[in-house]
Amino acid sequence: MSSEVTVVETQFAGVRVEVRTPASFDDVVERLNKLCGKSSIPELVKLAREDISEGTYVREVERRFVGESGFMLFSEIDHGGWIAKFGIKRRTVRWILGNPLIAITMLRHDISAGLFAPVEVLLTEASDGEGTFVTYVRPSSLIVLGDNPELKHAAQALDRKFESLIERITAPH
């Protein structure tokens, strides 16, 4: 192994998507909570370290943590809770969500896909209080660099699943 440090820079462009829905902030958050399970990365790692088979791990993750949408919430950052201190009176929350059973479909083709799995979404109340903005970056636009058909296929499947969740939480009543 070389004793020299090397640095490689690769430019790429992510695709940022913003959906405005007439649905209230509370409704969008409630729908997201209803459709997603909850877990933490430490919980998933702890389960993986148990003396169980891969099949048992999959079944336990699906049974205990995965929500109806196929995703689980890992972390929630309430930006609205602290930006008010600086005079910005808007509710906004960033969710980090994913599913290790989806992530592995990409990581097995390129371990660096783990930089963008899990995915993130920002929910922001409209400034006039009428509706909600849902902002995210299309996962495949971050994950797939270069020619890797298997990774591209898996990342686009994630796109479809994630965009289906976004459609469900933003649908007007």
Whether 76 is in a domain gets the answer yes
- DSSP three-state, residue 6: coil
Give the CATH number, domain containing residue 147.
3.30.310.70
Per the CB < 8 A criterion, the answer to whether 61 and 44 are in contact is yes
Task: Assess whether pLDDT exceeds 90 at residue 81.
Answer: yes
Contact call for residues 35 and 71 (beta carbons, < 8 A): yes
Tokens 């940022």 sit at which residue?
Answer: 16
For residue 141, being part of any structural domain is answered with yes
Helix axes 54-64, 100-107, angle to 10 degrees: 140
Domain annotation covers residue 7: no
The two structure tokens encoding residue 28 = 């969008």
Asked if the model's pLDDT at residue 3 lies above 90, the reply is: no
The pLDDT of residue 166 is: 98
**Is residue 96 assigned to a domain?**
yes
- The Cα 150–Cα 153 span in angstroms is 5
Mean pLDDT over 89-112 rounds to: 97
Has residue 91 been placed in a domain? yes
In a domain, 94, yes or no: yes
Assess if residue 101 is contained within a domain. yes
Q: Is residue 2 part of a domain?
A: no
pLDDT at residue 2, rounded to an integer: 73
Domain count, the chain: 1
**Owning domain of residue 90:** 16-170
The half-sphere exposure of 130 on its side-chain side, counting CA atoms within 13 A, is: 1
pLDDT tens, position by position, 41-67: 999 999 999 999 999 999 999 999 999
